[in-house]
Amino acid sequence: MTYLLKLHPEITIKSRSVRQHMTRCLASNVRNTLRQLEEGVRVKGGWDALLVSLPDTLPAGRVEEMEDTLARIPGIHEILATEAVPCDSLDEAAAWIVPHWRAAIAGRRFRVRAKRRGDHDFSSMDLERRLGSALLAAEPTARVDLKHPEIVVSVELTHRRLQLIRSRRPGLGGYPLGVQGQALALVSGGFDSPVAAWRMLRRGIKTHYLFFNLGGPAHETGVREVTHHLWQRYSASHNVDFTSVPFEGVVAEILRTIPDGLMGVILKRMMVRAASRVAARAGIPALVTGDAIAQVSSQTLTNLALIDAASELPILRPLVTEDKQEIIDTARRIDTARFAEQMPEYCGVISRRPHTRAPADKVLAAEAEFDFRVLDAAIEAATVTRASRLREGQRQPGEVTVVDSLASLARMPAVSVIDIRAPDEREAAPLELPEVPCLAIPFYELQDQAQTLPGDRDYLLYCDQGVMSHMQALHLKDRGMDHFGVLRHAC
């Protein structure tokens, strides 16, 4: 099986040297990607297309898998499944073309589009006219429509070889991966950040991944899954890194020291500070985030400017003007939505009444109270994994007990409820469970205090949204403490 891979149109308008460089990169990327699936693949570069040859012995299912893979490689505009046959004349061309296209044009409007290279005694227009008349004679129910055809019969004749185009499908477009340098994408596992990373891949940027772990092993497992998915489907031709920074300590320090309305912006500022240092250490010149204007409180222009000011590197935001539904639609198209639908939004649970226009002087004053040794320690504790190995040795997150009714709570013989909300949240809306012992331990102190609690009972964690309590219970379970569960807000 042979394929012609047409270059993305933006590649074809570059200067000769740039076009040749991009074509060589694309050929290398296609070769590296396909040979992970099948050793016998051959890739040959050309001026306006690449020629890919698959082994003749491949089963149909394997061929379909290879075609699907080609459709996800950045830089390819169109994928043409072809067959090359000998051809010396217009009559020979018609003899080959008519049997292949007769059924397809029946009852349809069609036109012939021919490209010819080499020394022939006829022109490309002569070839189009001859094939068009032969097709009409073979299928009288069809008719020619040069302006608005339903079917385009594509023919390429190179010297004495006629390329029969059996099928065509669109490619991903964009630029070959790697020709536009590198970037570090901040990924959280939601809808936005994977789509932002994918857009950078499509524009030829070798994209590494940075994850700030706010939710323990369960959070990291989900983000590793979506990152591996992005790498495997859209950038398997290159080795990239996944860096995980344990950020629970940073969040705890924010909750201890930062006024409530500034927490969201300062958390993002801490993230880009850390990201700048991780990127600089790896020689990566830019950061990428999934921010979109006004989507959440930290993404107003005022707050984005404050976040940018904390970064030593430029921050690229490919989704900055997109609507949420557009982002979700793209996530479904690239198959990352299924991961996002199962991923809690961790960043949004640490701040109530957030400032949409945080005053810069108050942000700087609040950060003066922050112990930056905590941030330094988080960066030093970061781990780096090759994207190709993200699934190796992964532990599946465990399940925790979830109680969602007072009746179920009353049936538990030895249980206490731990209110993990911040003190001001508890004061604003006290938790009243007169029949059950209640403890007040803020979430940022729970991991330290949990091991000192008596082990003769079960503990149910409570917070307003249920996200932080579930996250903390999973984290404690991972440390071997199975007697912690969750009390749902529905109670």
Catalytic residues: 463
Strand partners, 117: 158
Under a CB-based contact definition with an 8 Å cutoff, are residues 198 and 230 in contact? yes
DSSP string, 282-351: HT---EE----TTSSGGGSHHHHHHHHHT-SS-EE-TTTT--HHHHHHHHHHTT-HHHHTT----GGGS-
Distance CA 276, CA 297 (A): 23
Edge-to-edge strand ranges of the sheet holding 2-7: 42-44, 49-53, 2-7, 76-86, 161-170, 151-158, 109-117, 143-144
Q: Which amino acid is located at 51 in the chain?
A: L
Contacts of residue 31, defined as CB under 8 A and 6 or more positions apart, other chains included, come to 41, 43
For residue 245, what are the CA distances in angstroms to 45, 64, 156? 41, 39, 53
Q: What distance in Å separates the CA atoms of residue 393 and residue 43, rounded to the nearest whole number?
A: 34
Give the DSSP H or E segment for 27: helix 16-34
Give the Cα separation of 311 and 251 in Å (integer): 18
Residues in Cβ contact with 99 at an 8 Å cutoff, skipping those fewer than 6 apart = none
Residue 436 gets which letter from DSSP? S
Is there a contact between 299 and 307 (Cβ–Cβ < 8 Å)?
no
Contacts of 249 (CB under 8 A, 6+ apart): 374, 377, 378
Q: Which residues does residue 76 pair with via DSSP β-bridges, in sequence order?
A: 7
| Residues linked to residue 83 through DSSP beta bridges, in sequence order | 164
Taking alpha carbons only, the member of 51, 177, 23, 163 closest to residue 96 is: 163
